[in-house]
Structure 1
Amino acid sequence: LHKGVLTASDKNTVRSIRFLDPCLFSYEQPTYPPYPTTSATYLLVEYSDGVQNLFTTCDGSQQIPRCISEEPENAGDIQTLLQVIPNLPELMIYVKKNGNMYMKDIITGADVCQIVLPPTHQIQTPWSPMFAFGNEGNTLYIKGEGTEVDNAGTVSDISGIFMFDLRSYHVLDTYRIRKHMKKDLSVFTTQEQRINALLQERIQQQALRTFRLQKRWGQLKSEMNIIQQANKMSLKPGSPRKP
């Protein structure tokens, strides 16, 4: 990764920093040398005032971040949790301070859908809600808590685990059908790794080298036949001769 000092904010503190999946970054890797010389991805920075910015790891310090979440006017709209959905690297689930849970597009910052519990329950706490993904990110489990009053007027606490089948959310279909090429966020930093990669490429090219030589010899034979036929034609009586 290129080294650089990123200017985050001069008035707020950074609350969290996370590297996103490199497959989201449309950066063409060089085809030669046969080992990765650089890798790039997005860096999601979250601030104490609720602002979220996207940086890149390839432009050094001279870059303007992309803001995907402005400072909310209402303190209850501050996003308190961010987690990428398994197998859907473009989507992230988050919880607002008021307890509402949403899914949003990481690159654009736009909300995609809201996860709603029954009216009798709410998320345990917006700062550390209890939830988990299952079935390769297709199922979401959330623990909800609430209170109920019986006929005698006694109030008691209740809780339950709620399951959401995310495959039934058709708004997510456009994200599921997208194919992302897996990219490793790594580079070969030692001389031994680079030499081994070059030797492996050289060995793989040996079989192609024999084929190319045979093809070239065949072309030379064809070219020689054409030259010989041209010479014979020039020696025939009545054939035009070059001055």
Structure 2
Amino acid sequence: MEATYKTDQLREKTPTLELRPVTQLPENTNCLACSEDGRFLGLGHSRGLSVWCASSLICVSEWLQDSLEITSVQMSRIGEMTYLLGTVDDMGVARVFAHHFDTIHLLDVINVMEDINKRSICLTFELHEGGHYGAASLSCNDAVWLEIYHFPSAVWLEELERALSKKQDPNSSGDVDVKWSPVTVMIKIKPPKIPIGRAFSGPPEVSQTTDYLTRCLALDVIMRSSRQWQKSSFNAETGKTKEANESPRRCTQHFLLPCGHFPGSSEANFQPGLPVAVAVWWSGSQNLLQYVLQKAPKNKADVESMPAVLWPNAKEILCSAVSRYTRYIALGLDDALVCVWDRLSGAPLSVVRVPVENSAIIRMQFVDYWSVSADDSETFAAEKVHLLLQCKSGEIHTVTTGRGTQSCTMQLIERPEDNRDLPSVIMPVPFLQGLSLVLQRNGKMFLQDVINKTPVCFLTLPTIHLVTTPCSPVYALSTTQHTLFIRGDQDSSCSVSSEDSSQSQLFIFRFKESDVIQQYVVSHPDSPRQQQTLSYVTLQENCNAYLQQRALSAAERNKDIRKTWERLQETAATLQQKQ
């Protein structure tokens, strides 16, 4: 009762800021995406795809097709005025478009339906920043696999320029038919399975490595099958075992930038800003797998790819996240465990147990922009990582950890009593120091201070409007323009009725215009220290960096050892007194 009273008092003191309606949206707008430079908005709706100018909010180009509903859209800039758009429609078809000088071109269809009995459905589709690579999770007849694509961005830019020149030619007939360069499948990854009668060839060290990876993958499959069997229930009356309903396997992937030294890497292959590997894990698995991004030989296009690195874990992986420069990979494991892997050293940075009861970790994110003390900024050894965790129960926790430092967990939001108060969106806002945007299922939005554990302000739509489908809101955050775009509908309980009022509207909130938020706005340049750590591409440089880090953290580690020894002595003394 007292806690509820304090919460109500806190809400009364917290300011409320109103979002501004700006324009109507196309019918059934399902998704929004903002370009990295903040110039354009991509909108997927029931008639196709539209691109708007983010400042004037005027439609500049459209790709329309009847009975085609876009449900997912992403944008990535590949040129001065050229952007790639990756979409998935309601039939599970993935497409790649280009927006070039106010015109949308369809470049490629990822999963073309050639045979209706073998039609593949796209489950997820991701464009990597820069538009050079993409990843799609596909399924067909209960089979699931992951494909990594290489996009010929430079060639597409030349083809788009030629198409624009032909279109502007006064002697041209108007429509320009261009045969665009195709997308290349680099890697095809399937869920691990137990190999039967597999033969290994090559040098002994390569065969031993491959054999070790294969055995680890096979063990993972066996353990997953064991867990499925344990979930099965036995009926004593019928004498039969009821099999547990096995959900289709899903995979999660992360593109990885150059960092450290791993098998298959080469300094000659490194290009600034481009990934060199992809990390993959499958639902029900305990292993994180790393594959090198390299084109498959033409005569071996169907050969199943083997991982270059395997990162084993003690429990089943439930969720994951990568840091800004992909040096750290955080995994949310079963039994409320968090494991952070350091790609530079090739070892776990730390393993932390989150104090949460009967609830699994379902989502996690790195918080890059955290307040840093003067002492921490002076030493390389004091580098810390900060994570934001969301549990299935609705609890939200923060984790701070690092090598040579004591890990710390803190509960940010307690388990809600009402299911409508469960968070549907929680994400760190990169340009606001220590703030996260939280959107609940009941439609309430607020900015939460993850350091002081208090709400900074509530964000609300005008009185007669509500956030559309707050369980799965349609929104986009422009980190360049510091603006939130979100879809809202008129409240059905209001008596106002007209054609315009029934149409969904786009609402915006510009964070810099609020005095309440202005004090939190930050602009962090890329860390020179972090950029330097990513440049270690030889084994010798990697070892030198690790030894340097160990030397710098010696004092902190000795301090922790003394504290641990003191606690052990206190515990021993307590036990002796009881005897």
Give the alignment's TM-score, normalised by structure 2: 0.29
Hey, what's the Cα distance between the residues in 2 that align with 1:169 and 1:189?
A: 45
> What are the Cα deviations for residues 164-194 of structure 1, in whole angstroms up to 9, with x where unaligned?
2222211112112x57575438564844435
Equivalent residue, structure 1, for 2:473: 129
Whether the 8 Å CA contact 1:86–1:133 is kept in 2: the answer is no
Match of 1:164 in 2: 509
Structure 2 gaps, min length 5: 1-341, 343-347, 546-579
Q: Is this contact kept in 2: 1:3–1:60, CA < 8 A?
A: no
String of CA shifts for 1:68-96, please: whole Å, max 9, x gaps. 11112332222221122242242211101
1:19 is the counterpart of 2:363: no
C-alpha displacement at 1:123, in angstroms?
A: 0.8
Contact 2:431 2:523 in 1 (8 A): no
Structure with the larger strand share: 2
> How many angstroms apart in 2 are the aligned matches of 1:17 and 1:189?
29
Q: Secondary structure at the match of 2:437?
A: strand
Deviations 1:17-70 (A, max 9, x none): 111106545472666xxxx66742111111111111111231689744111111
Contact 1:4/1:60, CA 8 A, preserved across alignment:
no
Partner of 2:520: helix, strand, or coil?
Answer: helix
- Report matched runs for 1:49-128 at 5 Å: 49-58=393-402, 63-128=407-472
CA contact (8 A) 1:21 1:89 kept: no
In the alignment, the residues of structure 2 paired with residue 38 and residue 61 of structure 1 have an alpha-carbon distance, to the nearest angstrom, of 7
Counterpart secondary structure, 1:145: strand
> Residue 417 of structure 2 aligns to a residue in which SS?
coil
Partner amino acid for 1:142?
I
Residue number in structure 2 paired with 1:3: 349
Q: CA, structure 1 residues 181+170, in 2 after alignment: closer, same or farther (shift >3 Å)?
A: same
- 2:485 corresponds to: 141
Q: RMSD in angstroms over aligned alpha carbons?
A: 3.6
Secondary structure of residue in 2 paired with 1:3 = strand
2 CA distance for matches of 1:150 and 1:53? 42
Alignment-mate amino acid for residue 124 of structure 1: T
Question: C-alpha displacement at 1:4, in angstroms?
Answer: 3.1
Deviates more, 1:188-197 or 1:133-142: 188-197
> Structure 1 residues 43-52 or 140-149, which shifts more?
140-149
Number of aligned residues: 191
Question: How do residues 184-203 of structure 1 correspond to structure 2 at under 5 angstroms?
Answer: 184=530, 188=536, 190-193=538-541
Equivalent residue letter for 2:394: G
Gaps of 5+ in 1: 198-243
- 8 Å Cα contact 2:486-2:508 kept in structure 1: yes
Identity of aligned residues (%): 25
What letter matches 1:90 in structure 2? G
Task: Tell me the SS of whatever aligns to 2:412.
Answer: strand
Larger RCO (alpha carbons 8 Å, 6+ apart)? 1
Counterpart code for 2:367 = L
> Which letter maps to 1:84?
P
Q: Look up the SS of the partner of 2:504 in the other structure.
A: strand
| Conservation of the 8 A alpha-carbon contact between 2:382 and 2:405 | no
Letter in 1 for 2:409: P
The 1:135–1:44 alpha-carbon spacing in structure 2 relative to 1, beyond 3 Å, is closer
Q: Distance in 1 between matches of 2:538 and 2:410?
A: 34
- Structure 1 residue identity aligned to 2:396: Q
Q: Which amino acid aligns with 2:444?
A: N
CA distance change for structure 1 residues 94 and 63 in 2, over 3 Å: closer, same or farther?
Answer: same
Partners of 2:484 and 2:477 in 1: how far apart?
5
Q: Is the 8 A contact 2:367 2:388 kept in 1?
A: yes
In structure 2, how many angstroms separate the alpha carbons of the residues matched to 1:139 and 1:89? 16
Give the Å deviation of 1:150.
6.8
Q: Secondary structure at the match of 1:5?
A: strand
Structure 2: distance between partners of 1:143 and 1:41 = 33
Change (3 A) 1:63 1:142: same
Go from structure 1 to structure 2 and tell me whether the alpha carbon gap of 1:168 and 1:97 turns closer, same or farther (over 3 Å shift): same
Q: Is the 8 A contact 2:447 2:457 kept in 1?
A: yes
Which amino acid in structure 1 is aligned with residue 462 of structure 2?
Answer: P
